[in-house]
Amino acid sequence: MLARVLAGASLTAALAPDDEAPPALRPAVQDLCYGTLRDYGAADLILEALARKPIPDRGVRALLLCALYELRHERRAPHVVVDEAVTACGELGRAAARGLVNALLRNYLRRREALEADGRRTDAGRYGYPQWWITRVQRAYPRAWQAVLAAGNLHPPLTLRVNRRKIGIDAYFAKLDAAGIAAARRGDWTLRLDTPRRVDALPGFALGEVSVQDAGAQLAAPLMDLRDGMRVLDACAAPGGKTGHILELAAVDLLAIDCDAGRSERIAANLERLGLRARLRVADAGDPGEWWDGRRFDRILLDPPCSASGVVRRHPDLKWLRRASDLAGFAREQARLLEVMWRVLAPDGKLLYATCSVFAEENAAVIEAFAARHADACRLTVPALDLGQLLPDAEHDGFFYALIEKS
């Protein structure tokens, strides 16, 4: 699975259910893949110093990276890690690599201190990101750049959003307490678990009493100033977390659009579990001819494709799959979608532009250029957010919000 990511696949695609990992082992497989990718910056430099020349076989290279992750973080006894890695060579059909894997890993254990210094000799090794990413964050947040990078390497918290149409937060908190699940209240409908759990272990999850949603993402729906009876558009809606929150807050006429049929099915499943209804369309939000009936919307949520740099701790593969040149492409698509959304927004209506990014190229720069093109666009203040940017920390992921009123 890790070899697939090294070849350019997303971690989500690589971890898609198949016959390679029995269900009981999937949490451990996922943990190993996520940890190895968070650790990749330093481990890649250490492996380079150990091998002295590139290892062309991606499977062997991935195996060594996984083993180095376990050795560097002392997850198991060193001799066990080495022996299992050598055994795995045969199971992977790479029996000829046994000697190489054994020699490199034992060499690491002998020279650990010097090799760890090698792993910290560059910014990529010290901070766990490619250099272009580090440079951009340094320039954008000169006083906070190290904290932003560090947050992206943390294990993300498990935060819940209580469905107030079904249960109050105090009542649900009592259910967690009765189930022996420790949590802390973080807002009117937000709870953070002390220790992450599988959703099927959460009381009332199957009944729609609660959803898993990052605290930063939970800011979106309240910012929209929703009222019953409004016509609302949720563009680029999958997987439907914000869609559900909108409907929990107000009885609105909601159209949810996404261009991905598979991901759109997740919107439908989420709404069914929550006991909520919306009109769903599989379409390109940037082509209103596919979905618009000519009636304008009072509120629009535009959550366009972006680098996802603010949620990288949930998707550590993105650090190594993204390229600096990708940002310009995202910005063009964001600008295209904004223009269409503005056409279908009613006068005095409000549009919330939201990304899970920390890069200004797809946040403030996109909004400033849009406002310069539209004299009727009035950007409103977003409470408690410095220029709309929410930087990632231990409590939440990174997001950008711009609320624009059509005057």
Distance CA 331, CA 363 (A): 8
Distance CA 307, CA 328 (A): 10
- Catalytic residue list contains 66: no
**Choosing from 89, 236, 306, 356, which is the catalytic residue?**
356
Six token digits for residue 74: 């002392």
DSSP β-bridge partners for residue 351: 300, 404
Q: Under a CB-based contact definition with an 8 Å cutoff, are residues 81 and 41 in contact?
A: no
DSSP string, 181-207: --EEE-SSSEEEESS---GGGSTTTTT
Distance CA 86, CA 101 (A): 6
Q: CA torsion, points 392, 393, 395, 398, in degrees to nearest 10?
A: 0
Strands 190-193 and 159-162, bridge-based pairing: antiparallel
Q: How far apart are the first and last CA of the chain?
A: 51
- Helix runs in 73-111, H state only: 78-91, 98-110
Residues taking part in catalysis: 356
